[in-house]
A and B are shown apart, each in its own frame.
Chain A
Protein backbone atom coordinates (compact mmCIF):
# COMPACT_ATOMS: atom_id res chain seq x y z
CA UNK A 1 0.00 0.00 0.00
CA UNK A 2 2.85 2.34 0.82
CA UNK A 3 4.42 1.68 -2.57
CA UNK A 4 1.09 2.43 -4.24
CA UNK A 5 0.78 5.81 -2.56
CA UNK A 6 4.43 6.71 -3.18
CA UNK A 7 3.98 6.22 -6.92
CA UNK A 8 2.94 9.64 -8.31
CA UNK A 9 0.62 8.10 -10.92
CA UNK A 10 -1.40 5.97 -8.55
CA UNK A 11 -1.37 8.69 -5.88
CA UNK A 12 -3.08 11.10 -8.28
CA UNK A 13 -5.46 8.41 -9.46
CA UNK A 14 -6.26 7.51 -5.86
CA UNK A 15 -6.94 11.15 -4.91
CA UNK A 16 -9.24 11.68 -7.92
CA UNK A 17 -11.25 8.50 -7.38
CA UNK A 18 -11.49 9.03 -3.61
CA UNK A 19 -12.72 12.58 -4.22
CA UNK A 20 -15.44 11.46 -6.62
CA UNK A 21 -16.40 8.65 -4.27
CA UNK A 22 -16.88 11.14 -1.43
CA UNK A 23 -18.91 13.51 -3.63
CA UNK A 24 -21.14 10.64 -4.73
CA UNK A 25 -21.50 9.26 -1.22
CA UNK A 26 -22.55 12.60 0.26
CA UNK A 27 -24.50 13.73 -2.81
CA UNK A 28 -27.76 14.31 -0.87
CA UNK A 29 -25.92 16.56 1.60
CA UNK A 30 -23.92 18.53 -0.95
CA UNK A 31 -26.59 18.91 -3.61
CA UNK A 32 -28.22 22.33 -3.55
CA UNK A 33 -31.44 21.17 -5.22
CA UNK A 34 -33.50 18.04 -5.78
CA UNK A 35 -31.83 16.53 -8.91
CA UNK A 36 -35.18 15.54 -10.42
CA UNK A 37 -37.20 18.62 -9.47
CA UNK A 38 -38.52 20.48 -12.52
CA UNK A 39 -38.69 24.27 -12.28
CA UNK A 40 -40.32 25.95 -15.31
CA UNK A 41 -39.29 29.37 -14.05
CA UNK A 42 -35.60 28.48 -14.19
CA UNK A 43 -35.06 26.92 -17.64
CA UNK A 44 -31.54 26.96 -19.16
CA UNK A 45 -30.07 29.40 -16.63
CA UNK A 46 -26.33 30.00 -16.92
CA UNK A 47 -24.13 28.99 -13.97
CA UNK A 48 -24.59 31.33 -10.99
CA UNK A 49 -24.25 31.25 -7.24
CA UNK A 50 -27.67 29.59 -6.91
CA UNK A 51 -27.17 27.09 -9.72
CA UNK A 52 -23.42 26.36 -9.68
CA UNK A 53 -23.51 24.61 -13.05
CA UNK A 54 -26.65 26.23 -14.42
CA UNK A 55 -29.96 24.50 -15.17
CA UNK A 56 -31.14 22.24 -17.98
CA UNK A 57 -34.07 22.41 -20.42
CA UNK A 58 -36.54 21.47 -17.67
CA UNK A 59 -35.08 23.82 -15.10
CA UNK A 60 -33.35 21.06 -13.14
CA UNK A 61 -30.16 22.00 -11.28
CA UNK A 62 -27.20 20.60 -13.23
CA UNK A 63 -24.80 20.59 -10.26
CA UNK A 64 -27.15 18.39 -8.23
CA UNK A 65 -27.72 16.13 -11.22
CA UNK A 66 -23.96 15.82 -11.71
CA UNK A 67 -23.52 14.71 -8.09
CA UNK A 68 -26.17 12.02 -8.39
CA UNK A 69 -24.81 11.09 -11.84
CA UNK A 70 -21.49 10.34 -10.15
CA UNK A 71 -23.23 7.59 -8.18
CA UNK A 72 -24.37 5.96 -11.45
CA UNK A 73 -20.91 6.09 -13.01
CA UNK A 74 -19.21 4.63 -9.97
CA UNK A 75 -21.85 1.94 -9.50
CA UNK A 76 -21.84 0.86 -13.15
CA UNK A 77 -18.04 0.70 -13.15
CA UNK A 78 -17.78 -1.41 -10.02
CA UNK A 79 -20.63 -3.83 -10.68
CA UNK A 80 -19.92 -4.36 -14.40
CA UNK A 81 -16.24 -5.02 -13.78
CA UNK A 82 -17.12 -7.15 -10.75
CA UNK A 83 -19.25 -9.40 -12.95
CA UNK A 84 -16.60 -9.56 -15.68
CA UNK A 85 -13.84 -10.31 -13.17
CA UNK A 86 -15.74 -13.11 -11.45
CA UNK A 87 -16.58 -14.77 -14.78
CA UNK A 88 -13.01 -14.23 -15.97
CA UNK A 89 -11.45 -15.75 -12.85
CA UNK A 90 -13.72 -18.80 -12.91
CA UNK A 91 -13.29 -19.55 -16.62
CA UNK A 92 -9.59 -18.66 -16.63
CA UNK A 93 -8.91 -20.81 -13.56
CA UNK A 94 -10.71 -23.81 -15.04
CA UNK A 95 -8.93 -23.30 -18.34
CA UNK A 96 -5.47 -22.87 -16.91
CA UNK A 97 -5.74 -25.47 -14.16
CA UNK A 98 -7.40 -28.39 -15.91
CA UNK A 99 -6.25 -27.68 -19.49
CA UNK A 100 -7.31 -30.37 -21.98
CA UNK A 101 -10.59 -30.04 -23.87
CA UNK A 102 -12.25 -27.64 -21.36
CA UNK A 103 -9.40 -25.26 -22.02
CA UNK A 104 -9.88 -25.59 -25.78
CA UNK A 105 -13.62 -24.95 -25.55
CA UNK A 106 -13.23 -21.91 -23.28
CA UNK A 107 -10.44 -20.41 -25.37
CA UNK A 108 -12.44 -20.80 -28.59
CA UNK A 109 -15.38 -19.08 -26.87
CA UNK A 110 -13.02 -16.24 -25.93
CA UNK A 111 -11.88 -16.03 -29.57
CA UNK A 112 -15.48 -15.87 -30.75
CA UNK A 113 -16.42 -13.15 -28.26
CA UNK A 114 -13.32 -11.12 -29.06
CA UNK A 115 -14.03 -11.19 -32.80
CA UNK A 116 -17.44 -9.54 -32.47
CA UNK A 117 -17.02 -5.75 -32.33
CA UNK A 118 -17.79 -5.19 -28.65
CA UNK A 119 -19.85 -2.03 -28.85
CA UNK A 120 -22.06 -3.60 -31.56
CA UNK A 121 -22.68 -6.59 -29.32
CA UNK A 122 -23.54 -4.43 -26.32
CA UNK A 123 -25.83 -2.27 -28.41
CA UNK A 124 -27.58 -5.30 -29.92
CA UNK A 125 -28.43 -6.68 -26.48
CA UNK A 126 -29.20 -3.40 -24.72
CA UNK A 127 -31.63 -2.29 -27.39
CA UNK A 128 -33.80 -5.35 -26.79
CA UNK A 129 -33.94 -4.97 -23.00
CA UNK A 130 -35.77 -2.30 -21.09
CA UNK A 131 -33.10 0.35 -20.66
CA UNK A 132 -32.12 0.43 -17.00
CA UNK A 133 -28.95 0.78 -15.02
CA UNK A 134 -29.06 -2.88 -13.91
CA UNK A 135 -29.34 -4.19 -17.46
CA UNK A 136 -26.45 -1.98 -18.50
CA UNK A 137 -24.20 -3.26 -15.75
CA UNK A 138 -25.03 -6.88 -16.52
CA UNK A 139 -24.55 -6.50 -20.26
CA UNK A 140 -21.23 -4.65 -19.94
CA UNK A 141 -20.11 -7.32 -17.47
CA UNK A 142 -21.17 -10.20 -19.72
CA UNK A 143 -19.34 -8.74 -22.73
CA UNK A 144 -16.02 -7.84 -21.14
CA UNK A 145 -14.76 -10.93 -19.29
CA UNK A 146 -12.47 -12.20 -22.07
CA UNK A 147 -9.37 -10.22 -21.11
CA UNK A 148 -9.43 -11.40 -17.49
CA UNK A 149 -10.00 -14.98 -18.61
CA UNK A 150 -6.89 -14.97 -20.80
CA UNK A 151 -4.90 -13.24 -18.06
CA UNK A 152 -5.86 -15.70 -15.30
CA UNK A 153 -5.29 -18.66 -17.60
CA UNK A 154 -1.82 -17.43 -18.55
CA UNK A 155 -0.92 -16.82 -14.87
CA UNK A 156 -2.17 -20.26 -13.86
CA UNK A 157 -0.31 -21.98 -16.69
CA UNK A 158 2.97 -20.35 -15.70
CA UNK A 159 2.45 -20.79 -11.94
CA UNK A 160 1.54 -24.49 -12.21
CA UNK A 161 5.04 -25.33 -13.32
CA UNK A 162 6.70 -23.54 -10.38
CA UNK A 163 8.37 -25.51 -7.60
CA UNK A 164 6.19 -24.34 -4.71
CA UNK A 165 3.04 -25.44 -6.49
CA UNK A 166 4.47 -28.80 -7.49
CA UNK A 167 5.74 -29.30 -3.95
CA UNK A 168 2.30 -28.61 -2.54
CA UNK A 169 0.75 -30.98 -5.05
CA UNK A 170 3.25 -33.71 -4.22
CA UNK A 171 2.38 -33.33 -0.56
CA UNK A 172 -1.18 -34.25 -1.50
CA UNK A 173 -2.91 -30.86 -1.61
CA UNK A 174 -6.33 -30.93 -3.19
CA UNK A 175 -7.17 -29.01 -6.35
CA UNK A 176 -9.24 -26.46 -4.44
CA UNK A 177 -6.38 -25.80 -2.03
CA UNK A 178 -3.93 -25.40 -4.89
CA UNK A 179 -6.24 -22.99 -6.70
CA UNK A 180 -7.35 -20.83 -3.78
CA UNK A 181 -4.23 -20.97 -1.60
CA UNK A 182 -1.45 -20.86 -4.16
CA UNK A 183 -2.44 -20.02 -7.70
CA UNK A 184 -5.11 -17.35 -7.22
CA UNK A 185 -3.34 -15.23 -4.57
CA UNK A 186 -0.23 -15.17 -6.77
CA UNK A 187 -2.22 -14.00 -9.80
CA UNK A 188 -3.96 -11.16 -7.97
CA UNK A 189 -1.73 -8.27 -9.09
CA UNK A 190 -2.48 -8.46 -12.83
CA UNK A 191 -6.16 -9.12 -12.08
CA UNK A 192 -6.42 -5.99 -9.93
CA UNK A 193 -4.61 -3.85 -12.50
CA UNK A 194 -6.80 -5.04 -15.35
CA UNK A 195 -9.96 -4.57 -13.25
CA UNK A 196 -9.11 -0.96 -12.44
CA UNK A 197 -8.43 -0.26 -16.11
CA UNK A 198 -11.64 -2.14 -16.95
CA UNK A 199 -13.68 0.19 -14.73
CA UNK A 200 -12.40 3.11 -16.80
CA UNK A 201 -13.71 1.64 -20.02
CA UNK A 202 -17.00 0.57 -18.39
CA UNK A 203 -17.58 4.19 -17.35
CA UNK A 204 -16.96 5.31 -20.93
CA UNK A 205 -19.31 2.67 -22.35
CA UNK A 206 -22.10 3.55 -19.92
CA UNK A 207 -21.88 7.25 -20.69
CA UNK A 208 -21.86 6.47 -24.41
CA UNK A 209 -24.96 4.29 -24.12
CA UNK A 210 -26.78 6.84 -21.98
CA UNK A 211 -25.80 9.50 -24.51
CA UNK A 212 -27.41 7.44 -27.28
CA UNK A 213 -30.55 7.18 -25.13
CA UNK A 214 -30.09 3.45 -24.51
CA UNK A 215 -28.69 3.71 -21.01
CA UNK A 216 -29.87 5.32 -17.82
CA UNK A 217 -33.27 6.91 -18.47
CA UNK A 218 -34.51 10.33 -17.41
CA UNK A 219 -35.52 11.58 -14.87
CA UNK A 220 -32.68 9.62 -13.24
CA UNK A 221 -29.47 11.55 -13.86
CA UNK A 222 -26.37 10.13 -15.48
CA UNK A 223 -23.45 12.05 -16.98
CA UNK A 224 -24.27 10.49 -20.33
CA UNK A 225 -27.88 11.57 -20.43
CA UNK A 226 -27.12 15.09 -19.21
CA UNK A 227 -24.91 15.26 -22.31
CA UNK A 228 -27.82 14.16 -24.50
CA UNK A 229 -29.64 17.26 -23.30
CA UNK A 230 -26.45 19.21 -23.88
CA UNK A 231 -26.51 18.14 -27.52
CA UNK A 232 -30.05 19.50 -27.95
CA UNK A 233 -29.22 22.87 -26.44
CA UNK A 234 -25.60 23.17 -27.53
CA UNK A 235 -26.17 26.55 -29.19
CA UNK A 236 -27.71 28.12 -26.09
CA UNK A 237 -26.29 26.30 -23.08
CA UNK A 238 -22.62 25.31 -23.17
CA UNK A 239 -22.70 24.36 -19.48
CA UNK A 240 -24.95 21.39 -20.19
CA UNK A 241 -22.24 19.82 -22.36
CA UNK A 242 -19.05 21.02 -20.72
CA UNK A 243 -19.46 19.77 -17.14
CA UNK A 244 -20.58 16.17 -17.69
CA UNK A 245 -17.89 15.68 -20.33
CA UNK A 246 -15.21 16.98 -17.97
CA UNK A 247 -16.55 14.76 -15.20
CA UNK A 248 -16.31 11.63 -17.37
CA UNK A 249 -12.84 12.66 -18.53
CA UNK A 250 -11.58 13.17 -14.97
CA UNK A 251 -13.10 9.95 -13.68
CA UNK A 252 -11.71 7.81 -16.49
CA UNK A 253 -8.36 9.55 -16.14
CA UNK A 254 -8.40 8.77 -12.42
CA UNK A 255 -8.98 5.06 -12.95
CA UNK A 256 -6.37 4.89 -15.71
CA UNK A 257 -3.76 6.64 -13.53
CA UNK A 258 -4.59 4.37 -10.61
CA UNK A 259 -4.36 1.26 -12.82
CA UNK A 260 -1.06 2.21 -14.47
CA UNK A 261 0.33 3.31 -11.11
CA UNK A 262 -0.65 0.00 -9.52
CA UNK A 263 1.01 -1.85 -12.37
CA UNK A 264 4.24 0.11 -11.85
CA UNK A 265 4.14 -0.16 -8.09
CA UNK A 266 3.21 -3.82 -7.76
CA UNK A 267 5.17 -5.29 -10.64
CA UNK A 268 8.84 -5.63 -9.64
CA UNK A 269 9.85 -5.97 -13.30
CA UNK A 270 8.72 -2.51 -14.34
CA UNK A 271 9.85 -0.81 -11.13
CA UNK A 272 13.46 -1.62 -11.94
CA UNK A 273 13.47 0.39 -15.18
Chain B
Protein backbone atom coordinates (compact mmCIF):
# COMPACT_ATOMS: atom_id res chain seq x y z
CA UNK B 1 0.00 0.00 0.00
CA UNK B 2 2.79 2.42 0.95
CA UNK B 3 4.60 1.57 -2.26
CA UNK B 4 1.44 2.27 -4.25
CA UNK B 5 0.98 5.60 -2.49
CA UNK B 6 4.58 6.66 -3.14
CA UNK B 7 4.25 5.66 -6.79
CA UNK B 8 1.07 7.71 -7.16
CA UNK B 9 2.59 10.72 -5.40
CA UNK B 10 5.65 10.49 -7.63
CA UNK B 11 3.45 10.47 -10.75
CA UNK B 12 1.82 13.69 -9.63
CA UNK B 13 5.06 15.56 -10.30
CA UNK B 14 5.21 15.25 -14.11
CA UNK B 15 1.48 15.89 -14.23
CA UNK B 16 1.92 19.10 -12.24
CA UNK B 17 4.74 20.22 -14.52
CA UNK B 18 2.45 19.55 -17.48
CA UNK B 19 -0.38 21.51 -15.87
CA UNK B 20 1.83 24.48 -15.10
CA UNK B 21 3.29 24.45 -18.62
CA UNK B 22 -0.18 24.44 -20.20
CA UNK B 23 -1.38 27.23 -17.88
CA UNK B 24 1.74 29.29 -18.50
CA UNK B 25 1.55 28.98 -22.28
CA UNK B 26 -2.16 29.79 -22.44
CA UNK B 27 -1.71 32.85 -20.26
CA UNK B 28 1.23 34.24 -22.19
CA UNK B 29 -0.11 33.55 -25.65
CA UNK B 30 -2.97 35.92 -24.92
CA UNK B 31 -2.34 39.59 -25.57
CA UNK B 32 -1.87 42.09 -22.74
CA UNK B 33 0.05 41.99 -19.46
CA UNK B 34 0.15 43.85 -16.17
CA UNK B 35 1.51 46.98 -17.87
CA UNK B 36 -1.65 47.20 -19.96
CA UNK B 37 -3.84 47.46 -16.87
CA UNK B 38 -1.38 49.73 -15.05
CA UNK B 39 -1.40 52.01 -18.06
CA UNK B 40 -5.17 52.18 -18.12
CA UNK B 41 -5.13 53.31 -14.49
CA UNK B 42 -2.42 55.84 -15.18
CA UNK B 43 -2.73 57.25 -18.67
CA UNK B 44 0.49 59.21 -18.24
CA UNK B 45 2.58 56.04 -18.09
CA UNK B 46 4.93 56.27 -21.04
CA UNK B 47 5.91 53.40 -23.30
CA UNK B 48 9.40 53.75 -21.81
CA UNK B 49 8.32 53.23 -18.22
CA UNK B 50 6.12 50.34 -19.29
CA UNK B 51 9.14 48.78 -20.94
CA UNK B 52 11.10 49.21 -17.71
CA UNK B 53 8.28 47.54 -15.77
CA UNK B 54 8.33 44.64 -18.22
CA UNK B 55 12.08 44.27 -17.64
CA UNK B 56 11.65 44.14 -13.87
CA UNK B 57 9.11 41.34 -14.19
CA UNK B 58 11.07 39.57 -16.98
CA UNK B 59 8.05 40.03 -19.25
CA UNK B 60 10.35 40.96 -22.14
CA UNK B 61 11.97 37.52 -22.22
CA UNK B 62 10.67 34.70 -24.47
CA UNK B 63 7.83 32.72 -22.87
CA UNK B 64 9.90 29.57 -22.49
CA UNK B 65 12.63 31.48 -20.60
CA UNK B 66 9.98 32.98 -18.32
CA UNK B 67 8.61 29.50 -17.70
CA UNK B 68 12.13 28.25 -16.87
CA UNK B 69 12.56 31.06 -14.35
CA UNK B 70 9.17 30.28 -12.81
CA UNK B 71 9.92 26.54 -12.61
CA UNK B 72 13.32 27.25 -11.01
CA UNK B 73 11.66 29.24 -8.25
CA UNK B 74 8.97 26.58 -7.88
CA UNK B 75 11.57 24.03 -6.76
CA UNK B 76 11.80 25.98 -3.49
CA UNK B 77 8.00 26.48 -3.44
CA UNK B 78 8.57 30.16 -4.17
CA UNK B 79 5.45 31.34 -6.02
CA UNK B 80 6.81 34.88 -6.26
CA UNK B 81 5.14 38.13 -5.35
CA UNK B 82 1.99 39.68 -6.66
CA UNK B 83 2.48 42.27 -9.41
CA UNK B 84 -0.52 44.20 -8.26
CA UNK B 85 -1.27 44.29 -4.54
CA UNK B 86 1.71 45.83 -2.74
CA UNK B 87 4.05 43.02 -3.74
CA UNK B 88 2.38 40.59 -1.36
CA UNK B 89 3.81 37.07 -1.50
CA UNK B 90 1.53 34.86 -3.59
CA UNK B 91 1.65 31.66 -1.59
CA UNK B 92 3.03 31.77 1.94
CA UNK B 93 4.06 34.41 4.48
CA UNK B 94 7.53 36.01 4.45
CA UNK B 95 9.45 37.77 7.17
CA UNK B 96 11.42 40.91 6.31
CA UNK B 97 14.60 42.13 8.07
CA UNK B 98 12.63 43.91 10.77
CA UNK B 99 10.71 40.73 11.58
CA UNK B 100 7.41 41.95 10.15
CA UNK B 101 5.37 39.14 8.71
CA UNK B 102 3.48 39.65 5.46
CA UNK B 103 0.89 36.92 4.99
CA UNK B 104 0.63 35.13 1.65
CA UNK B 105 -2.42 35.71 -0.53
CA UNK B 106 -3.22 32.05 -1.08
CA UNK B 107 -2.42 31.37 2.58
CA UNK B 108 -5.29 33.70 3.48
CA UNK B 109 -7.73 32.62 0.79
CA UNK B 110 -7.31 28.84 0.70
CA UNK B 111 -8.76 28.05 4.17
CA UNK B 112 -11.89 30.04 3.31
CA UNK B 113 -12.51 28.13 0.09
CA UNK B 114 -11.64 24.82 1.73
CA UNK B 115 -14.15 25.57 4.49
CA UNK B 116 -16.87 26.31 1.95
CA UNK B 117 -16.04 23.16 -0.01
CA UNK B 118 -15.93 20.91 3.05
CA UNK B 119 -19.27 22.29 4.25
CA UNK B 120 -20.75 21.75 0.76
CA UNK B 121 -19.49 18.17 0.73
CA UNK B 122 -21.07 17.57 4.14
CA UNK B 123 -24.33 19.08 2.88
CA UNK B 124 -24.18 16.97 -0.27
CA UNK B 125 -23.65 13.74 1.64
CA UNK B 126 -26.20 14.46 4.37
CA UNK B 127 -28.96 15.39 1.91
CA UNK B 128 -28.16 13.39 -1.21
CA UNK B 129 -27.83 9.98 0.49
CA UNK B 130 -31.35 9.84 1.93
CA UNK B 131 -32.80 11.37 -1.24
CA UNK B 132 -31.14 8.75 -3.43
CA UNK B 133 -32.17 5.87 -1.19
CA UNK B 134 -35.77 7.05 -0.92
CA UNK B 135 -35.86 7.55 -4.68
CA UNK B 136 -34.60 4.03 -5.35
CA UNK B 137 -36.95 2.39 -2.82
CA UNK B 138 -39.99 4.15 -4.32
CA UNK B 139 -38.96 3.71 -7.94
CA UNK B 140 -41.47 5.31 -10.36
CA UNK B 141 -43.84 6.23 -7.52
CA UNK B 142 -44.59 9.79 -6.37
CA UNK B 143 -41.61 10.30 -3.98
CA UNK B 144 -39.19 9.10 -6.67
CA UNK B 145 -40.86 11.34 -9.29
CA UNK B 146 -40.65 14.38 -6.99
CA UNK B 147 -36.97 13.74 -6.21
CA UNK B 148 -36.20 13.23 -9.90
CA UNK B 149 -37.80 16.55 -10.77
CA UNK B 150 -35.76 18.19 -8.00
CA UNK B 151 -32.60 16.59 -9.40
CA UNK B 152 -33.23 17.87 -12.92
CA UNK B 153 -33.92 21.38 -11.68
CA UNK B 154 -30.85 21.27 -9.45
CA UNK B 155 -28.75 20.42 -12.52
CA UNK B 156 -30.24 23.16 -14.66
CA UNK B 157 -30.53 26.09 -12.29
CA UNK B 158 -27.82 28.71 -12.79
CA UNK B 159 -26.10 28.93 -9.40
CA UNK B 160 -25.39 32.66 -9.62
CA UNK B 161 -29.02 33.41 -10.38
CA UNK B 162 -30.30 31.34 -7.48
CA UNK B 163 -27.68 33.05 -5.29
CA UNK B 164 -28.95 36.42 -6.41
CA UNK B 165 -32.56 35.48 -5.70
CA UNK B 166 -31.76 34.03 -2.26
CA UNK B 167 -29.62 37.06 -1.48
CA UNK B 168 -32.55 39.29 -2.31
CA UNK B 169 -35.09 37.17 -0.44
CA UNK B 170 -33.13 36.46 2.75
CA UNK B 171 -30.99 39.57 2.87
CA UNK B 172 -32.93 42.45 1.36
CA UNK B 173 -36.61 41.56 1.82
CA UNK B 174 -36.38 39.74 5.17
CA UNK B 175 -32.99 40.58 6.67
CA UNK B 176 -32.54 36.97 7.85
CA UNK B 177 -28.99 36.46 6.65
CA UNK B 178 -26.04 38.76 5.97
CA UNK B 179 -25.39 39.14 2.25
CA UNK B 180 -21.69 39.80 1.97
CA UNK B 181 -18.31 39.07 3.49
CA UNK B 182 -17.13 36.30 5.77
CA UNK B 183 -18.00 37.80 9.15
CA UNK B 184 -19.65 40.79 10.79
CA UNK B 185 -17.83 43.99 11.76
CA UNK B 186 -17.89 43.22 15.48
CA UNK B 187 -16.57 39.68 14.88
CA UNK B 188 -13.44 40.22 17.00
CA UNK B 189 -15.47 41.06 20.10
CA UNK B 190 -17.67 37.96 19.95
CA UNK B 191 -17.27 34.85 22.07
CA UNK B 192 -16.22 31.83 20.04
CA UNK B 193 -19.65 30.13 19.79
CA UNK B 194 -21.07 33.38 18.46
CA UNK B 195 -18.13 33.63 16.05
CA UNK B 196 -18.81 30.18 14.62
CA UNK B 197 -22.50 30.99 14.27
CA UNK B 198 -21.61 34.28 12.59
CA UNK B 199 -19.39 32.61 9.98
CA UNK B 200 -21.98 29.90 9.36
CA UNK B 201 -24.66 32.54 8.81
CA UNK B 202 -22.45 34.30 6.27
CA UNK B 203 -21.63 31.05 4.50
CA UNK B 204 -25.11 29.50 4.47
CA UNK B 205 -26.17 30.63 1.00
CA UNK B 206 -22.74 30.29 -0.67
CA UNK B 207 -22.41 26.72 0.66
CA UNK B 208 -25.92 25.84 -0.51
CA UNK B 209 -25.24 27.32 -3.95
CA UNK B 210 -21.91 25.59 -4.47
CA UNK B 211 -23.32 22.28 -3.24
CA UNK B 212 -26.59 22.25 -5.16
CA UNK B 213 -25.60 20.75 -8.50
CA UNK B 214 -23.36 18.22 -6.75
CA UNK B 215 -26.27 17.38 -4.52
CA UNK B 216 -28.48 16.70 -7.51
CA UNK B 217 -25.80 14.62 -9.20
CA UNK B 218 -24.98 12.52 -6.16
CA UNK B 219 -28.62 11.71 -5.36
CA UNK B 220 -29.05 10.51 -8.93
CA UNK B 221 -25.93 8.34 -8.58
CA UNK B 222 -27.11 6.90 -5.27
CA UNK B 223 -30.52 6.16 -6.78
CA UNK B 224 -29.12 4.41 -9.85
CA UNK B 225 -26.47 2.63 -7.79
CA UNK B 226 -29.11 1.35 -5.36
CA UNK B 227 -31.34 0.17 -8.21
CA UNK B 228 -28.40 -1.69 -9.74
CA UNK B 229 -27.46 -3.36 -6.49
CA UNK B 230 -31.04 -4.22 -5.50
CA UNK B 231 -31.31 -6.38 -8.62
CA UNK B 232 -28.21 -8.41 -7.75
CA UNK B 233 -28.41 -12.07 -6.77
CA UNK B 234 -26.98 -11.63 -3.30
CA UNK B 235 -29.81 -9.26 -2.40
CA UNK B 236 -32.32 -11.89 -3.48
CA UNK B 237 -30.37 -14.37 -1.37
CA UNK B 238 -30.44 -12.03 1.63
CA UNK B 239 -34.18 -11.63 1.26
CA UNK B 240 -34.69 -15.34 0.68
CA UNK B 241 -32.97 -16.26 3.92
CA UNK B 242 -35.50 -14.08 5.70
CA UNK B 243 -33.47 -11.04 6.72
CA UNK B 244 -35.58 -8.04 7.68
CA UNK B 245 -36.00 -5.56 4.84
CA UNK B 246 -34.12 -2.82 6.73
CA UNK B 247 -31.10 -5.01 7.10
CA UNK B 248 -31.20 -5.93 3.41
CA UNK B 249 -31.47 -2.32 2.28
CA UNK B 250 -29.01 -0.66 4.62
CA UNK B 251 -26.47 -3.37 5.41
CA UNK B 252 -26.32 -5.26 2.14
CA UNK B 253 -27.43 -2.89 -0.60
CA UNK B 254 -26.50 0.63 0.50
CA UNK B 255 -22.95 -0.21 1.50
CA UNK B 256 -22.24 -1.59 -1.94
CA UNK B 257 -24.09 1.16 -3.75
CA UNK B 258 -21.95 3.75 -1.94
CA UNK B 259 -18.64 2.47 -3.30
CA UNK B 260 -18.62 4.31 -6.66
CA UNK B 261 -19.65 7.45 -4.78
CA UNK B 262 -16.14 7.80 -3.38
CA UNK B 263 -14.72 8.20 -6.87
CA UNK B 264 -17.48 10.58 -7.92
CA UNK B 265 -16.85 12.81 -4.90
CA UNK B 266 -13.12 12.85 -5.74
CA UNK B 267 -13.90 13.83 -9.33
CA UNK B 268 -16.21 16.65 -8.24
CA UNK B 269 -13.40 18.61 -6.56
CA UNK B 270 -12.25 20.70 -9.56
CA UNK B 271 -15.89 21.66 -10.17
CA UNK B 272 -16.29 22.76 -6.56
CA UNK B 273 -13.10 24.83 -6.64
CA UNK B 274 -13.94 26.35 -10.02
CA UNK B 275 -17.52 27.01 -9.00
CA UNK B 276 -16.32 29.17 -6.14
CA UNK B 277 -15.52 32.09 -8.46
CA UNK B 278 -19.06 33.34 -9.01
CA UNK B 279 -20.38 32.66 -5.49
CA UNK B 280 -17.36 34.29 -3.86
CA UNK B 281 -17.41 37.35 -6.14
CA UNK B 282 -21.14 37.78 -5.60
CA UNK B 283 -20.96 37.53 -1.81
CA UNK B 284 -17.58 39.28 -1.49
CA UNK B 285 -16.05 36.30 0.30
CA UNK B 286 -12.24 36.49 0.34
CA UNK B 287 -11.55 32.96 -0.96
CA UNK B 288 -9.61 31.48 -3.88
CA UNK B 289 -12.33 32.23 -6.42
CA UNK B 290 -12.52 35.92 -5.62
CA UNK B 291 -8.73 36.15 -5.46
CA UNK B 292 -8.49 34.52 -8.87
CA UNK B 293 -11.14 36.75 -10.41
CA UNK B 294 -9.41 39.88 -9.14
CA UNK B 295 -6.00 38.61 -10.27
CA UNK B 296 -7.33 37.84 -13.73
CA UNK B 297 -8.76 41.35 -14.12
CA UNK B 298 -5.39 42.84 -13.08
CA UNK B 299 -3.43 40.38 -15.28
CA UNK B 300 -1.47 39.50 -12.17
CA UNK B 301 0.52 36.57 -13.64
CA UNK B 302 2.18 35.22 -10.45
CA UNK B 303 -1.14 35.06 -8.60
CA UNK B 304 -2.94 33.41 -11.54
CA UNK B 305 -0.18 30.85 -11.94
CA UNK B 306 -0.09 30.23 -8.20
CA UNK B 307 -3.81 29.58 -7.95
CA UNK B 308 -3.93 27.41 -11.07
CA UNK B 309 -1.05 25.31 -9.75
CA UNK B 310 -2.37 24.99 -6.19
CA UNK B 311 -5.91 24.35 -7.43
CA UNK B 312 -4.68 21.59 -9.74
CA UNK B 313 -2.48 20.09 -7.02
CA UNK B 314 -5.53 19.97 -4.75
CA UNK B 315 -7.49 18.26 -7.50
CA UNK B 316 -4.79 15.63 -7.95
CA UNK B 317 -4.58 15.10 -4.19
CA UNK B 318 -8.37 14.77 -4.05
CA UNK B 319 -8.32 12.09 -6.74
CA UNK B 320 -5.54 10.26 -4.92
CA UNK B 321 -7.47 10.42 -1.64
CA UNK B 322 -10.56 9.08 -3.42
CA UNK B 323 -8.57 6.15 -4.85
CA UNK B 324 -7.03 5.37 -1.46
CA UNK B 325 -10.43 5.58 0.22
CA UNK B 326 -11.86 3.28 -2.43
CA UNK B 327 -9.10 0.73 -1.85
CA UNK B 328 -9.70 1.00 1.89
CA UNK B 329 -13.44 0.49 1.52
CA UNK B 330 -13.41 -2.26 -1.09
CA UNK B 331 -11.27 -5.34 -0.35
CA UNK B 332 -11.41 -6.41 -4.00
CA UNK B 333 -9.74 -3.20 -5.13
CA UNK B 334 -7.28 -3.35 -2.24
CA UNK B 335 -6.05 -6.74 -3.30
CA UNK B 336 -5.63 -5.50 -6.84
CA UNK B 337 -3.62 -2.49 -5.68
CA UNK B 338 -1.25 -4.50 -3.50
CA UNK B 339 -0.58 -6.91 -6.31
B-binding residues in A (CB < 8 A): 108-109, 111-121, 123-125, 127-129, 200, 204, 207-208, 211-212, 227, 230-231, 234-235, 238, 241-242, 244-245, 248-250, 252-253, 256-257, 273
Contacts and interface: CB of A to CB of B under 8 A. Distances in A.
A257 B312 CA distance: 32
Interface of B: 15, 18-19, 22-23, 26-27, 30-32, 152-153, 155-162, 164-165, 167-168, 172, 227, 270-271, 273-275, 277-278, 281-282, 292-293, 296-297, 299, 304, 307-308, 311-312, 315-316, 319
A66 to B, nearest CB: 14
Contacts of B26: 121, 124-125
Nearest to A253: B156
B18 A108 contact: yes
B164 A117 contact: no
Contact of A120 (B32, B167, B311): B311
Contacts of A127: 296-297, 299
A241 B168 contact: yes
22 contacts: A109-B18, A111-B15, A112-B19, A115-B312, A116-B315, A119-B277, A120-B274, A120-B308, A123-B296, A124-B23, A127-B297, A128-B32, A129-B31, A200-B155, A208-B158, A227-B160, A234-B164, A234-B167, A242-B165, A245-B158, A249-B153, A252-B158
Contacts of A235: 168, 172
Residue with the greatest number of chain A CB neighbours at <10 A, chosen from B156, B273, B292:
B156
Contacts of A123: 277, 292-293, 296
B303 to A, nearest CB: 11
Nearest to A241: B164
A113 B31 CA distance: 22
B253 to A, nearest CB: 16
A212 B30 contact: no
B311 A208 contact: no
B194 to A, nearest CB: 29
A208 B275 CA distance: 10
B278 A115 contact: no
Contacts of B18: 108-109, 111-112
A interface, over-half SS:
helix
Contacts of A111: 15, 18
A60 B111 CA distance: 43
A200 to B, nearest CB: 7
A204 B19 contact: no
Contact of B158 (A116, A118, A204): A204
B139 to A, nearest CB: 10
Given A125-B26, A253-B156, 5 more contacts: A112-B15, A123-B293, A211-B278, A238-B168, A257-B152
Contacts of A119: 274-275, 277
Contacts of A116: 19, 22-23, 270, 308, 311-312, 315
A115 B30 contact: no
A128 B30 contact: yes
A120 to B, nearest CB: 5
Contact of B316 (A115, A238, A273): A115
B278 A124 contact: no
B278 A208 contact: yes
B164 A256 contact: no
Contacts of B162: 245
A166 to B, nearest CB: 29
Contacts of B296: 123-124, 127
Contact of A118 (B227, B271, B292): B271
Contacts of A115: 15, 19, 270, 312, 315-316, 319
